[in-house]
Amino acid sequence: MMAEKKRILLVEDDDAVGYLLTEYLSMKGFDVSWAKHGKDALVKLDQTKYDLAVLDVMMPQMDGFTLAERINENFSELPFIFLTAKSLKVDVLKGFYLGAVDYLKKPIDEEELVIRIENLLSRLEKPVNTGKAIEVFTIGKYEFNSLNQELMVEGQKIKLTVKESELLKYLVDKRNQLCPHKDILIKIWGKNDYFNKKSLNVFITRLRKFLERDGNIKIENVHSKGYILRYEP
């Protein structure tokens, strides 16, 4: 029995690049849907469930950053990566702040893109819930459902992005232990480098904000070493 093709949403306004990437990714076994601008992408997202979105940053009508914000609001379970000609550090960090799982600069090497997509999908694939694994955790006043990517506190539901949920799950699994920067980055980002480390810092800040309703929960920064999530289960 053949494995089901992974569905990729490509959002790219350049006809030449869009056609090339659609053909190449299709040739590599992906089911690719090509949207030429952000509004078209949102329509497709309402109609079809995708495994990964590949977003150009500089587009008319709605740029990739704005589209990413809409994805976080309405399709938070969907991981996405950015493709862009913008190489300024601030743009890269903004992409990671919005929840991107990767960031590739144009011109795109098609083979590298395929390898990164395959690695990301392999890493992000959720395990089948057999009923044996514990996927719901009590964190102080919070209940964390890692499968549904949700935090519940005082009757309020906080929807997490894929990356936020992965990071929190990693810290919970190693609660009250030092989690070195390198180990977190390789496990969740797949690569230990400067930009990913900056992205990690941003996500830690976001998790701290989500968890601030319980003063007994702390994510401690151990200078130059890593982080410790401290709480009593």
CATH of the domain at 91: 3.40.50.2300
Which helix (H) or strand (E) is 190 found in, with range?
none
Domain that holds residue 156: 136-230
DSSP state string for 76-143? TT--EEEEES---HHHHHHHHHTT-SEEEESSP-HHHHHHHHHHHHHHHPPPP--S-S--EEEETTEE
Of all residues in the chain, what percent are helix, strand and coil, respectively (each to 5)?
40, 20, 35
- Please tell me which of 2-6, 97-101, 199-203 the model is most confident about, judged by mean pLDDT: 199-203
Of 90, 124, 158, the position where a domain reaches its end is 124
| Statement to judge: residues 18 and 59 lie in one domain | yes
- Which tops the pLDDT comparison, 76 or 124? 76
Interacting residues of 55 by C-beta distance below 8 A, sequence separation 6+ = 11, 41, 64, 67, 68, 80, 81, 82, 83
Taking 70 as the threshold, does the pLDDT of residue 218 lie above it?
yes
Residues 15, 3: Cα–Cα separation, whole Å: 30
pLDDT score for 84: 81
Q: pTM of the full predicted structure? A: 0.64
Taking 60 as the threshold, does the pLDDT of residue 130 lie above it?
no
Which helix (H) or strand (E) is 223 found in, with range?
none
Mean pLDDT rounded to a whole number for the chain:
87
Which residue's structure tokens are 């009590």? Answer: 138
With cut-offs at 50, 70 and 90, classify the pLDDT of residue 55.
very high
| Statement to judge: residues 17 and 114 lie in one domain | yes
Residues 178, 221: Cα–Cα separation, whole Å: 9
Q: Is 11 helix (H, G, I), strand (E, B) or coil?
A: strand
| Statement to judge: residues 140 and 120 lie in one domain | no
- Residues 36/18, Cβ–Cβ less than 8 Å: yes
Number of domains forming the structure of the chain: 2
| Statement to judge: residues 223 and 146 lie in one domain | yes
